[in-house]
Structure 1
Amino acid sequence: MWVGIFCEVTEFALMFAVYFVARAHHPEVFAAGPARLSLLAGTGYTLMLLTSGWCVAHAVHAMRASRQQACLRWLTGALLFGLGYPLIKLIEVRWNLAHGLDGSAGIFVVTYYYLTFNHLIHVFWGLLGLGWVMLRTGTGSYSADDHIGLEAFACYWHTTDIIWLMIFPLFYLLP
């Protein structure tokens, strides 16, 4: 898992480098960019992912306390909040396209889609992983003494959260 997380962080570091190079070459476009996006959507993503991560942290805590059913309930909450991310993305993309924010809208929008769609892919992988740890939790495969798979998933999910916490201000807040 740590190799996978390292690869993910490396991949996003390269994408952030692309962002900063583009921003350095087009500062006026990037300064005006956040006003073109929906701050409500960006805030919604942030709340969904952080709440989902909070649920995952509680799930790990419950498993450590040998409370498998509580762990499964926390994981269900994590799944519901995690699914909020692609739902908001669908609504936001429709809104963006209706407002002319497509691939021809300039370097800011292209960079925005580049980073956020890559992040969405990682969220989907995380949701698949979440389904897997929910299945394993539901079948009793984890215990207080042996739940390394759950902890590995939690590390991945929190990494995805941290990456979003870097994307959010770059696109939605910073002028």
Structure 2
Amino acid sequence: MTMFLGTHASRVDAKGRISIPSPFRAALREQARPGEALMIIRPSHLHDCLEGWSASAFFAFSGALDEYDPFSADHDDLATSLYADAYPLDCDKEGRVSLPKALKEHAGLEDDVSFMGLGRVFQIWNPTLAEERRKQARSRTRELGHRKHAETKERTAL
């Protein structure tokens, strides 16, 4: 599977469109199935950003709902969270998409945007918030590494 890698800058044009970075478009096209939208864009559950999925990856991931009773409140809540604000989108010939207003508002997108690759998905951020998130993630990863190193030393000392 092709992965979404790197951080890429883009701008919102006068018509409110953003250009999907060419490496991300290539990854999306590689994963696309005939008859499917190129991508699914939805609000992140964890951050003030948007998540971009290939349609096939999104529908494979959402298959986890099959484990729930379709008439349960849990199923209804998860389905609402996954699908109600998810939008299937295709790029125009120049690789641009028009994001729904609700998605732009969720992520605080105005003039400039940052795309961050996260492997199987990508995120679309306000650039200031993207930099804060990257710093936070690096800091937490370092802390995790220090904790794992300390745990390993403790286990080997026993």
TM-score band w.r.t. shorter chain: under 0.3
Q: Which has the higher helix share?
A: 1
TM, length-normalised to structure 1: 0.23
Higher relative contact order (CA 8 A, sep 6+): 1
TM, length-normalised to structure 2: 0.25
